[in-house]
Structure 1
């Protein structure tokens, strides 16, 4: 009987996978480049700004490796250029589609098992905490949380996307007298599936631990209304899940006849397009037609500005690299609150590391990585005046680029769990700082 169930289960998973999968990355390669001169760096920066090459890691400085996905039909062309520039390279992943196929099979198995478990328990919907849910499932989850406790929990539609989806935000207000707020968002880059999963996990834990009278969470939620947006880019996220374009990053605005999408994290109306962004519509870091041009950006800006002066913390989750970033990205200068930001972030990173040894580098965006303008982190700090504004890049590290954005679903619960532990201690420190 067990063997029969195993056979049927496996067959069903493979059937689901074969129906859903479209294989857009067959023989695409992940190539590691080893620039060792300034000329190499300038050449790669020009490629990033003017071509559709997909850089998985950042172009920082000589002697710092750079990983880039190259389409199968363009591989020979770029290899020829690398040789002309005497730029060392090696193939890290020979066929990226195989990595994506493996993830899709595992995800199909996980979804089927969750469906079976929900039927067994008499639940209407499968549980999505700790997995890569669809955006519709996330909306249903938020609505269920609000329905279970309408006094304290609400779902807010802050506006539509280009394709007409609602950008949903959950508010958790346990103390009706609370006047201060914190904000957490995920999924601004579509392919970073681990980030919406992290937001959903955090929502679940905030509510459960408050109801179970955890003293730290009680203190946090009695002070603040917590706003969590599991996906700031629903169009791109759904496209990455359903179209076969697993590595889609941007939104879905039709920028020109050849390329679609704007990098929403280069589109925010502060120091827009002053470095680390591209004006080429085909670039993965395309900053858009103008500052704040995208409807998704406008919705977030409008909502947060409507509560300007009440925010004590802004956090945006990304992947990947294991970085805990403070402002600034647009300049190598440091904000006046940098030392406090650094100490608070380090406390969170240390708590996260204590869970299972995952280590994060902590510091400013430009100091640790590169110049990047038009980001949410800088906008929140300078335009909204939120002292504690941060960006976290979740696992894996940039050295583990054989998986990169395609983090196996089996690893999602552990990443979500440790991240929540780090956030809990981090928010505890923010609470202490804002109480002074």
Structure 2
């Protein structure tokens, strides 16, 4: 009876969550079809100087753009679009319905996992392949460390603005290893598939090593791996308790009641030189100065302390199915661009073997998308001299789904698995290139 009551409590709690945080009732997701330079300038001004929520990037004429418009602002913006003769269509008439559907799916998924854990006599619910809470992710990596403290450790690299630990996991099966790689997720709070991907990678790397999978054994005997599942814990927590579509951290900007800095515009390479906003209410607000945010400072300090030992920096985002390379701050190419593309191709080819429908576009941030300064990728490449630095934008594609950031929970395990397979193939190529370079 107690177990039944617990299940009912979980389901009721989910319903309460949905009803108490229905911030996006009748909010629209609108697709814009700019065809002129005037359209592009107008939209760039909107992105930089308003709180309008652009879900996809402003690239140029004849490239569609998806934008989330609040219900009480919809008529205002539609009038402007008509004034500019800017074609548009409504992709989603009520974003709250998609969010509510997600919550119901998560409740059902949790019930299944809870039942399975009880039947197996497990004390904790398995979170691998699902959209877990920040606390559950912290517990998950702590449990991994407790199970093998010789090789696996949890490191608190510092606390967030609201005081939450930014915990990373180190995996070091070879104590004599001197080379390192870094993987992070969750820098943008609403991109829930990314913490799920980091959790999946932690689980599978350890499992595959212990099962003597040759490719993984080879990689983990060469590198110490540092994985940060949630780089923006305050924002991530806020998406789970208040606003599912929140992107930034939770700094109070003390301006018009606006909160949050885009942490992926706050890094100290070419900060605020393009593709970021100095308007505190903007979704791409880069902060009051480079490295102004404690979350940024924690990452910079930790990686700087090991500068010269890093071979790879990977940051997972969503969405778009893109493998993005430096630079974001300008249209130039890094000196080893072709080698980075070749390694990325190994990863995207491996993903396609797993799922033939997954086609990733590879290239520099600026040339594939747009100018974006202050990003982790540019800082890692220029500031830390990490030769392989990339951002992977996970599924879906813009054309393949209107759900965008709200990837249905049942798709999460497949996306996580594909990303893991691609990452192993990519790292194998990186290791070969790095080894050749270091060995002369």
- Structure-2-length-normalised TM-score: 0.96
Alpha-carbon distance between aligned partners in 1 of 2:266 and 2:41, rounded to the nearest angstrom: 23
Alpha-carbon distance between aligned partners in 1 of 2:147 and 2:206, rounded to the nearest angstrom: 11
What's the offset of the Cα at 1:335?
0.6
State the 4+ residue runs in structure 1 displaced beyond 3 angstroms: 7-14
In the other structure, the counterpart of 2:409 is 409
In the other structure, the counterpart of 1:350 is 349
Alpha-carbon distance between aligned partners in 2 of 1:134 and 1:112, rounded to the nearest angstrom: 15
Alpha-carbon distance between aligned partners in 2 of 1:233 and 1:129, rounded to the nearest angstrom: 20
State the Cα RMSD in Å: 1.4
1:261-298: CA deviation from partner (whole Å, max 9, x where unpaired): 00000000110000000001111000000000000000
In the other structure, the counterpart of 1:122 is 121
For the 8 Å contact 2:113–2:126, the answer to whether it is kept is: yes
Alpha-carbon distance between aligned partners in 2 of 1:309 and 1:340, rounded to the nearest angstrom: 19
For the residue of structure 2 that corresponds to 1:435, the secondary structure is helix
What's the offset of the Cα at 1:17?
2.0
What's the offset of the Cα at 1:111?
1.4
Alpha-carbon distance between aligned partners in 2 of 1:138 and 1:172, rounded to the nearest angstrom: 16
Q: Does 1:267 align with 2:266?
A: yes
For the residue of structure 1 that corresponds to 2:319, the secondary structure is strand
CA 1:402–1:10: 2 relative to 1, 3 Å: farther
For the residue of structure 1 that corresponds to 2:393, the secondary structure is strand
In the other structure, the counterpart of 2:290 is 291
For the 8 Å contact 1:325–1:362, the answer to whether it is kept is: yes
Alpha-carbon distance between aligned partners in 2 of 1:92 and 1:11, rounded to the nearest angstrom: 35
Q: Does 1:16 align with 2:10?
A: no
For the 8 Å contact 2:7–2:111, the answer to whether it is kept is: no
Alpha-carbon distance between aligned partners in 2 of 1:269 and 1:11, rounded to the nearest angstrom: 48
In the other structure, the counterpart of 1:253 is 251
Alpha-carbon distance between aligned partners in 2 of 1:123 and 1:401, rounded to the nearest angstrom: 36
What's the offset of the Cα at 1:10?
9.5
For the 8 Å contact 1:314–1:388, the answer to whether it is kept is: yes
In the other structure, the counterpart of 1:394 is 394
Alpha-carbon distance between aligned partners in 1 of 2:6 and 2:41, rounded to the nearest angstrom: 52
For the residue of structure 1 that corresponds to 2:396, the secondary structure is strand
For the 8 Å contact 1:67–1:401, the answer to whether it is kept is: no
For the residue of structure 1 that corresponds to 2:173, the secondary structure is coil
Alpha-carbon distance between aligned partners in 1 of 2:147 and 2:417, rounded to the nearest angstrom: 23
In the other structure, the counterpart of 2:378 is 378
What's the offset of the Cα at 1:353?
1.1
In the other structure, the counterpart of 1:232 is 231
Q: Does 1:366 align with 2:366?
A: yes
Give the unaligned 5+ runs of structure 1.
none
What's the offset of the Cα at 1:400?
3.3
In the other structure, the counterpart of 1:181 is 180
In the other structure, the counterpart of 2:52 is 53
Alpha-carbon distance between aligned partners in 1 of 2:78 and 2:33, rounded to the nearest angstrom: 13
How does 1:138-149 map onto structure 2 within 5 Å? 138-149=137-148
Alpha-carbon distance between aligned partners in 1 of 2:136 and 2:290, rounded to the nearest angstrom: 32
In the other structure, the counterpart of 1:151 is 150
Alpha-carbon distance between aligned partners in 1 of 2:14 and 2:309, rounded to the nearest angstrom: 46
Alpha-carbon distance between aligned partners in 2 of 1:205 and 1:196, rounded to the nearest angstrom: 14
For the 8 Å contact 1:13–1:105, the answer to whether it is kept is: no
1:112-139: CA deviation from partner (whole Å, max 9, x where unpaired): 2212222222222101000000010001
For the 8 Å contact 1:106–1:409, the answer to whether it is kept is: yes
In the other structure, the counterpart of 1:25 is 24
In the other structure, the counterpart of 1:39 is 38
For the residue of structure 2 that corresponds to 1:321, the secondary structure is coil
For the 8 Å contact 1:320–1:394, the answer to whether it is kept is: yes
Alpha-carbon distance between aligned partners in 2 of 1:115 and 1:289, rounded to the nearest angstrom: 45
Q: Does 1:112 align with 2:111?
A: yes
Alpha-carbon distance between aligned partners in 2 of 1:9 and 1:308, rounded to the nearest angstrom: 49
Alpha-carbon distance between aligned partners in 2 of 1:403 and 1:78, rounded to the nearest angstrom: 21
Q: How many residues align?
A: 430
In the other structure, the counterpart of 2:196 is 197
- Structure-1-length-normalised TM-score: 0.97
Alpha-carbon distance between aligned partners in 2 of 1:74 and 1:19, rounded to the nearest angstrom: 27
What's the offset of the Cα at 1:169?
0.4
1:58-86: CA deviation from partner (whole Å, max 9, x where unpaired): 10010011110000000000001001101
Alpha-carbon distance between aligned partners in 1 of 2:27 and 2:259, rounded to the nearest angstrom: 20
Alpha-carbon distance between aligned partners in 2 of 1:232 and 1:12, rounded to the nearest angstrom: 30
What's the offset of the Cα at 1:397?
0.3
